């Protein structure tokens, strides 16, 4: 036991160091490796610990590990960067489910009985695990395009959400008081918990999805921590606490970035719109890649605003080449990163890190807005909602109140898009019709490649 405890201690230290290193792109790869080693050690110790006193079946354990490893390796190798958010959501959901199932096994082994506090903790953990699972599955469906908002319309969703939450928490306290629940009652509890996760995420879409992913991630961390208590697995407890607490902190930061109160996350109602949305009219002006290249070459400051369209086109590496060419021409080049650009927290940071873009060139929301005020040319690559001025001046807009990257004072704005179709939030962007804005239609990667060729000849 002493040796196993020492291994767990080493694993815990490696996990903390690994997570700490994930906070910066330069050390993120090493941090990920250390965290993976720590968790692998934890799995080995978890397998050995109960086998000292119980006759466990290695065959079933081995099959589970083998199947999980095969699925994980194949998924990781095949997933495109554009599909990374839905994969994160999918894996997070199964993490919540697996942790929740630990509570279900505890209930089955104990005949759904226990001292009040024990039964309450187990039921609460089961509730969180199922919410994380069903909510993540809905998020996965939305992010992958398999589920549309019109398919998930729930009348009076906020009221239903609150009622389900009250019923579920009330049931936990009630059964904790009784110290027992019957099989039909357990099944009903499972169904209601699952439905709550669906109702929780269903009304939320568009630009708010990264906040939902962060919230669900924190729930998975919490349920993993509680599962660590139930199974007396110290590493699972530590890992769950770290994931849960960091997820909560990230959720709070994302709520601040979105200008949304935390209660709106809990009750699943992010909408702050009032009245009827303004109609957007106007004629979009186009620019050619050749003209834009000349404009960029003779600028002093250029700023790129990346969005999900950059991920779709896989344009980050060619953007890096444009950056290098312009810097050779003494042009200052930066990237304006909105906290919820893309489909998950840090999505744009990951893409740009893949292209070896220096972390120092990434500007957060406040610094980016100050920089954009004095920028000669801002290039929007596939971003829609995070630059939509309706968030500032249209109280009826779905995104009203959300802080945006404000390009009102930028001298010239060029938008790289395939078409004039609205963004993920489903609303048109008035910025595209402003006097200082021009459109460059087409695949973002091909457009930037054309710009790069023209730049080399200027």
The DSSP call for residue 286 is: B
**Eight-state DSSP code of residue 113:** B
Contact between 214 and 254 (Cβ < 8 Å): yes
Name residue, tokens 């554009």: 82
Q: Which of 385, 393, 435, 443 is catalytic?
A: 385
Q: What distance in Å separates the CA atoms of residue 78 and residue 237, rounded to the nearest whole number?
A: 31
Q: Classify the phi-psi angles of 271: left when phi > 0, otherwise alpha if psi is within -120 to 50, otherwise beta.
A: beta
DSSP letters of 39-106?
Answer: HHHHHHHHHHHHHTTS---HHHHHHHHHHHHHHHHHHHHH--GGGHHHHHHHHHHHHHHHHHHHHHHH
How far from each other are the two terminal CA atoms of the chain, in whole angstroms?
70
The 10 Å Cβ neighbour count of residue 79 is 14
| Three-class DSSP category at 350 | helix
How many Cα atoms sit within 13 Å of 268 on the Cβ side? 26
Please indicate whether residue 385 is annotated as part of the active site. Answer: yes
Which SS3 state, helix, strand or coil, does residue 38 take? helix
CA distance 318 to 297: 16
- Take residue 57 and report the two structure tokens written for it: 């079946």
What whole-number distance in Å separates Cα of residue 192 and Cα of residue 134?
11
DSSP-derived 3-state class of residue 110: coil
Q: Are 180 and 110 in contact (CB under 8 A)?
A: no
Residues 6+ apart with CB under 8 A from 95: 132, 220, 224
Query: Which are the catalytic amino acids?
Result: 385
């Amino acid at each position: 036991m002493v040796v196993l405890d020492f291994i767990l201690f080493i694993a815990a230290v490696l996990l903390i160091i690994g997570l700490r290193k994930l906070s910066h792109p330069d050390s993120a790869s090493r941090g990920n490796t250390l965290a993976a080693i720590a968790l692998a050690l934890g799995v080995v110790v978890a397998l050995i610990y109960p086998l000292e006193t119980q006759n466990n079946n290695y065959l079933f354990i081995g099959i589970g590990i083998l199947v999980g490893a095969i699925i994980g390796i194949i998924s990781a190798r095949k997933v495109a960067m554009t599909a990374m958010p839905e994969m994160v959501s999918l894996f997070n959901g199964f993490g919540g489910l697996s942790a929740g199932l630990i509570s279900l096994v505890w209930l089955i082994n104990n005949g759904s009985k226990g001292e009040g506090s024990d039964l309450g903790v187990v039921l609460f953990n089961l509730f969180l695990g199922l919410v994380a699972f069903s909510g993540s599955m809905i998020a996965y469906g939305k992010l992958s395009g398999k589920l549309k908002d019109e398919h998930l319309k729930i009348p009076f969703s906020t009221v239903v959400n609150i009622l389900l939450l009250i019923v579920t928490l009330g049931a936990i306290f009630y059964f904790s008081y009784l110290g027992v629940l019957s099989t039909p009652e357990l099944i009903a509890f499972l169904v209601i918990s699952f439905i709550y996760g669906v109702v929780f995420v269903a009304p939320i879409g568009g630009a708010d999805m990264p906040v939902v992913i962060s919230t669900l991630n924190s729930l998975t961390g919490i349920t993993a921590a509680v599962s660590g208590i139930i199974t007396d697995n110290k590493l699972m407890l530590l890992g769950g606490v770290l994931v849960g607490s960091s997820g909560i902190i990230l959720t709070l930061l994302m709520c601040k970035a979105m200008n949304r109160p935390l209660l709106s996350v809990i009750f699943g109602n992010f909408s702050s719109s009032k009245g009827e949305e303004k109609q957007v009219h106007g004629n979009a002006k186009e620019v050619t890649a050749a003209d834009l290249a000349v404009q960029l070459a003779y600028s002093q400051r250029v700023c790129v605003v990346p969005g999900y369209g950059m991920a779709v086109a896989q344009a980050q590496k060619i953007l890096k080449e444009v950056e290098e060419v312009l810097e050779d021409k003494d042009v200052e080049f930066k990237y304006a990163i909105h906290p919820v650009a893309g489909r998950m927290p840090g999505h744009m940071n990951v893409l740009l890190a893949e292209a070896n873009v220096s972390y120092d060139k990434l500007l957060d929301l406040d610094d980016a807005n100050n920089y954009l005020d004095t920028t000669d040319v801002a290039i929007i690559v596939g971003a829609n909602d995070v630059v939509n001025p309706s968030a500032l001046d249209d109280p009826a807009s779905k995104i009203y109140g959300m802080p945006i990257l404000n390009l009102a004072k930028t001298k010239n704005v060029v938008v790289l898009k395939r078409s004039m179709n609205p963004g993920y939030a489903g609303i048109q962007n008035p910025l595209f019709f402003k006097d200082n804005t021009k459109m460059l239609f087409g695949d973002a990667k091909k457009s930037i490649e054309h710009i790069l060729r023209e730049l080399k000849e200027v």
